[in-house]
Amino acid sequence: MNTTKPQLEITASRQFVPWLYEQHLSLVFTTYQAGKVFFIGLEPTGKLAIFERTLDRCMGLYATGNSLYISTLYQLWRFENTLAPGEIHNNHDAIYLPQVGYITGDLDIHDIVVDDKQQIVFANTLFSCLATVSQTHSFVPVWQPPFISKLAAEDRCHLNGLALKDGKPKYVSVISQSDVNEGWRQKRVGGGCIIDIDSNEIVLAGLSMPHSPRWYQDKLWLLNSGTGEFGYADLQTGKFQAITFCPGYQRGLAFHHNFAIVGISESRHTKTLSGLPLDDKLMDKDTAARCGLLVIDLKTGDIVHSLNIEGVVNELYDIAVLPQIRRPMAIGFRSDEIRRVITIGNNDTF
């Protein structure tokens, strides 16, 4: 009897592929555990198309216009789509080429955004702050929680999530308000909170391992990962309103029209992810944590479509939507393609 676990097996729910087609979008997600970025689209035949590239410990992901930003072990990259709208190359309608890379050092970068001034801002988790890239240094700090007394490479509160509002960084998620080296690990069950970075006020507290705050349709959505709940913050009452239970450890949240796309991961048998309320909820529902993507109807809270991932990949971090793209791919660093793909820009100065 062959009990070998498959290297990688990705299966879609029955209506996931028609949903991708109807919405005219592709998805991209990162898995730092396997060191891969995956692009999910459709082949010309209508079947699911899966394209992956290897990027060491890739985590944060942000898509805007033709650009795709990805953080890796010690770098932050900007990939650029080299194809014009309507252009096709080898059945791909988007080819993301690495264009700019910043050497940041191992900052444990989590969420990334690009603000309305085209400045990159990221969750510098190791130093418990928000930061931006620099031409001359590893990073430049732009904000830190009021309870963090010193910028130190100590991951004091596990600042991981960052939300834009009206084009500006507005909310962050932290696992705790700790001000000592890795103090967040003792506050995993109820120490999590969301902070308004303009006022330095805590707008939501009592969370368990919160991730991926996102402002969308005039609401602050987030993942209360330690309880397995997806929902939003009632900023009037300071309460978390759960709308969906997700069967896995949540990380990664994106939106399209009236749908949320949530990433879920298998539970790790480690001190970090064990002993959370999620474990008891899964047991009560007679199920186990799994890895994949969930499509949630924001009107009903129902999980209407899913993508299940098994084998070598069992943890995801971030997700992005690529609208109006059917079948994307990316140029990697380990092939000859990167030598041969050359693009010419317009010179408007002459």
Q: What percent of the chain has pLDDT over 90?
A: 90
pLDDT digits (tens, 9 = 90+) for 11-41: 999 999 999 999 999 999 999 999 999 999 9
Specify the CATH class of 26-334 in words: mainly beta
Mean pLDDT of the chain: 94
* pLDDT the model gives residue 275: 81
Pairing of strands 94-103, 328-330: parallel
Q: How many whole angstroms separate alpha carbon 13 and alpha carbon 287? A: 18
Residue 4 pLDDT > 70, yes or no?
Answer: no
Q: How many whole angstroms separate alpha carbon 339 and alpha carbon 274? A: 45
Per-residue confidence at 344, pLDDT binned at 50, 70, 90? confident
**Over residues 116-124, mean pLDDT:** 98
Residue 339 pLDDT > 90, yes or no?
Answer: no
Per-residue confidence at 346, pLDDT binned at 50, 70, 90? confident
Instruction: Indicate the DSSP class of residue 138.
Output: S
Per-residue confidence at 343, pLDDT binned at 50, 70, 90? confident
pLDDT digits (tens, 9 = 90+) for 146-195: 999 999 999 999 999 999 999 999 999 999 999 999 999 999 999 999 99
Residue 248 pLDDT > 60, yes or no?
Answer: yes
- Helix or strand (DSSP H, E) at 20: helix 16-23
Q: In a 3-state reduction of DSSP, which class is residue 187?
A: helix
Per-residue confidence at 345, pLDDT binned at 50, 70, 90? confident
* pLDDT the model gives residue 334: 80
**Over residues 121-125, mean pLDDT:** 98
pLDDT digits (tens, 9 = 90+) for 46-96: 999 999 999 999 999 999 999 999 999 999 999 999 999 999 999 999 999
* pLDDT the model gives residue 191: 96
- Domain regions of the chain by residue span: 26-334
Are residues 310 and 6 in contact, defined by beta-carbon separation less than 8 angstroms? Answer: yes
Residue 350 pLDDT > 60, yes or no?
Answer: no
Phi then psi dihedrals of residue 19, to 5 deg: -65, -45
* pLDDT the model gives residue 36: 96
* pLDDT the model gives residue 243: 98
Q: How many whole angstroms separate alpha carbon 65 and alpha carbon 212? A: 21
* pLDDT the model gives residue 123: 98
pLDDT digits (tens, 9 = 90+) for 303-313: 999 999 999 99
How far from 227 is each of 33, 70, 166, 208, 266, CA to CA, in Å? Answer: 22, 27, 29, 6, 14
Q: Among 102-106, 124-128, 277-281, which is the least confidently predicted range?
A: 277-281
Q: How many whole angstroms separate alpha carbon 291 and alpha carbon 314? A: 5
Residue 264 pLDDT > 80, yes or no?
Answer: yes
Task: Pull the structure tokens for residue 326.
Answer: 């059917």
* pLDDT the model gives residue 316: 96
